[in-house]
Structure 1
Amino acid sequence: MLQRAIDQDQLNAFLSRWTADQAATLHAATVVIGDKLGLYKALAQGGRQTAPALAASTGLNPRLVREWLNAQVASGYCEYEPESAVYWLTPEQAACLAEPDSPTFVAGGALVSNASHYDTDRVVRAFRDDGGIGWHEHHQHLFEGTQRFFEPIYRRHLVKDWIPALDGMEARLRRGARVADIGCGQGASLILMARTFPASRFTGFDYHVDSIKAAQRNAEKAQVADRVSFQVTGAQDFEGEDFDLICVFNALHEWGDAVGAASRIREALAPEGLWMFTEPLADPYPQESVRGRTFFSVSTCVCTPSALSQGGRESMGAQAGEAELRRVAHAAGFTRFRRAAETPMFMVLEAS
């Protein structure tokens, strides 16, 4: 089969895109650095300041601080005035980069990208072997980054939008309900719900020991440990029955036997109980989009290897789509399935 001659304009356009992607990839490391060293926070709190002033307030190397600041300017992550050589964050930049309690904070999520680079050699080996990498085998930055990426999303949507979208669930939680979170990670969603619905009781399950330990510490710090507990167990082995609400936040596609896990969830629900689970929005077929680039990439490195490591029947990946998720729910015995809410990146599904 003859290939057509290279179109120079298309070639240049692709090279321009690759150059931009490389720049973004490299810049992501400076976001991790700025977050870990408190540079964004100090820049936001100090207002307009020079590089030496920021270095002095943080106790960091002045030359490296100046280079880091210029990297932020080049990427649009801070502002700069050449005449006075001062740098500052706009309120919008600060809300995303310097304020961990902000519902739009994203800097902590850069650790997820960082983890994928730490784990590249491990993923290459998985390609050449059985494809499996357990969640626990990844770099620590993945666990911390996942918590810090999703927690602001939960603060922005979980109690305000998602719970009210479920059929009658908000009133039940206020009266007092039993709630489980399967694949709970470090406990962010349950802690938020426990603060909002003090009459209810919450249990988180996750097979990753270190995440459960972190979740217990986080619950104690949030002063909700009296109504939130955590257990180390897998998605099909968790204990308990008659839960009014079982949640699964962006974890179903990482399980090797999604139907088996969904079946166990159905068995553990009370007669009028609901299963709420979130999954990434997906296009009907692969196409160019920021969402697709994000989720197919993380699925290649994390989600699909996680499912393959479990030796089960499923390896859906992070872009399984609503039709496939509906199939899983119906195969597990759920008869009612609907999309209750969505964000630009995720859908909130309800099954009973």
Structure 2
Amino acid sequence: MTTDAMTAPNTPTAEEVGERLFAAVLGTQLVQAAYLGDRLGYYRTLAAGPRTSTELAARTATAERYAREWLEHQAVAGVLTVDDPDAAPTERRFRLPAGAAEVLTDVLSPNHVLPLARMAAGQGRHLDALADAYRSGGGVSWAEFGVDARESQAAANRPLFLGALPRDYLPSVPEIRAVLERGGRIADIGCGFGWSAIGIALAHPAVTVDGFDVDGPSIETARQNAVEAGVADRVRFHHVDAGADAGPGGGTEDRYDLVAAFECVHDMPHPVGVLAAMRRMTAPGGVVLVVDERVADTFAAPGDDVEQLMYGWSITCCLPDGLAHPGSVGTGTVMRPDTLRAYARDAGFADIEVLPVEDLFFRFYRLV
């Protein structure tokens, strides 16, 4: 046996790699079509009932010829069905089945995967900037990624943050359940569009929540979301860097019973400073919670689908965003438990505890 054979016993053949890449091209085309269907309102219009290309174009203010080609692609790809495939092209009526409608239009369903497609397709607009960053060692910031990144990230987490997170996951931890039941003060670090803070407030009417984020447009949207959800009297959002010297946590008036960071520590250029601020912000007996990606404990190749997904986000979004800031540690999406443990200890914590909360994509840590 050669050395190469011993080190890579499962090396794929050229045919296998070619087949996989070809399948990925088909998947990429489907993602791009989904991006267009979302941005142009095609899916939402089809969810209301079957449409011809003429009807879809008229209802979405788009060109019929483009609408027709998009509809036919979606039918050929198995997303849409056609009531009358033998009719004239402009008279064929296309239908969005219930299962597809849930995935593509139900913003509160756990099966709403469309935001991930929007994120992936939107990042394609920045490949030139990413290539430049790879060459220079610089980055592409969250602000540069723009509205696609902001909106798709928030939409992807919205079902969890308004559903299982406040309703099932957080109350399953006794120390956190006690905070929720007695109406404690909660700080949400890196709150984005505010769905985690809003979800906690909706599920637990006695609590008050302060959300903090460095992204101004996200904070403005979060404030509007809180008003629309009817919780603006108990949920406040602050445009501030929680890790900066002037950030929260400097006085007793800023002490909280639960200080949480939901899926954001791996994005932070200076996570130790933020974790140290979270420690300062915590009242005596309070809980510090970090929820981040459930990646493998150690590197191994090949990896499972979740590991591949997280590396995919890292090479096109999270690592470039992190490295866009001076002095960044450059964590990337794949933040393993030992990496967080090192950050926590540098921030003054003794250790991290992995909590017994089971989720496919997220791991729950208590910092002690």
TM-score (normalizing by structure 2): 0.85
Q: Which structure 1 segments of 5+ residues have no match?
A: none
Match of 1:279 in 2: 292
* Residue 345 of structure 1, CA deviation: 1.7
Per-residue deviation, 1:340 = 3.4
The answer to whether residue 255 in structure 2 is matched with residue 242 in structure 1 is: yes
Kindly indicate whether residue 248 of structure 2 is the aligned counterpart of residue 233 of structure 1: no
Distance 1:38 1:115 in 2: 16
CA–CA distance in 2 between the matches of 1:192 and 1:302?
Answer: 26
Equivalent positions of 1:111-150 (< 5 A) are 111-150=118-157
Contact 1:242 1:270 in 2 (8 A): yes
Change (3 A) 1:289 1:131: farther
Q: Which amino acid aligns with 1:274?
A: V
Are the counterparts in 2 of residues 182 and 206 from structure 1 also a CA contact under 8 Å?
A: yes
| Correspondence for 1:320 | 335
* Deviations 1:143-191, CA, capped at 9 Å, x for gaps: 1111111112223421222212223322422321111111111111111
Matches within 5 A, 1:16-95: 16-46=19-49, 48-81=50-83, 82=85, 85-95=92-102
Change (3 A) 1:43 1:313: closer
Residue type matched to 2:277 in 1?
R
Tell me what 2:272 maps to: 259
* Separation (CA, whole Å) in 1 of partners of 2:108 and 2:310: 25
Give percent identity, aligned residues only.
29
C-alpha change, 1:336 and 1:141, in structure 2 (3 Å) is closer
Q: Would the aligned equivalents of 2:292 and 2:364 in 1 still touch at CA under 8 Å?
A: yes
| Partner residue, 2:189 | 182
Instruction: Decide whether aligned partners of structure 1 residues 51 and 317 sit closer, same or farther in structure 2, where only a CA change above 3 A counts.
Output: same
Residue 255 of structure 1 and its aligned partner are, at CA, apart by 1.5
CA distance in 1 between partners of 2:219 and 2:322 (Å): 20
Give the direction of change, closer, same or farther, for the CA distance of 1:141–1:49 in structure 2 (3 Å limit). Answer: closer
| Shift in Å, 1:273 | 1.2
> For 1:70, what is the secondary structure of its paired residue?
helix
| CA deviations over 1:123-161 (Å, ceiling 9, x no partner) | 122112233333223232111111111112223421222
Q: Deviations over 1:324-348 (max 9, x none)?
A: 2233223321445123313212212
Of 319, 334, 342, which residue of structure 1 is paired with 2:358? 342
Moved more, 183-192 or 66-75: 66-75
Q: TM-score, normalised by structure 1?
A: 0.89
Is contact 1:72-1:78 (8 Å) kept? yes
Residues in 2 aligned to 1:131 and 1:342: alpha-carbon distance in whole angstroms: 36
Confirm or deny: 8 A CA contact 2:341 2:351 kept in the other structure: no
Higher mean C-alpha displacement, 129-138 vs 224-233: 129-138
**Equivalent residue letter for 1:262:** L
Which of 204, 228, 239 aligns to 1:221? It is 228
Q: Is the 8 A contact 2:175 2:287 kept in 1?
A: no
Rate the CA distance shift 1:36–1:326 in 2: closer, same or farther, 3 A: same
Summarize deviations over 1:28-80 as a string: whole Å, max 9, x none: 1211221222222222221x554444445545433322221222233332234
Letter in 2 for 1:37: L
Code of the residue aligned with 1:256 in structure 2: it is P
| Match in the other structure for 2:9 | none
Shift of 1:202: 0.9
CA change 1:312–1:274 in 2 (3 A) is farther
- Give the match's secondary structure for 1:168: helix
- Could you tell me which runs of 5 or more consecutive residues in structure 2 were left unpaired when the two chains were aligned: 6-11
CA distance in 2, matches of 1:130, 1:57: 46
- Counterpart of 1:301 (choices 316, 321, 328) is 316
Larger CA deviation: 338-347 vs 188-197 = 338-347
Task: Give the residue type in structure 2 aligned to 1:167.
Answer: P
The answer to which of 193-202 and 164-173 deviates more is 164-173
SS of 1:276's equivalent in the other structure is strand
In 2, distance between residues paired with 1:250 and 1:339? 15
**Does the Cα contact within 8 Å between 1:326 and 1:337 map onto a contact in 2?**
no
Amino acid across the alignment from 2:81: E
For 1:261 and 1:296, the matched residues in 2 are separated by 23
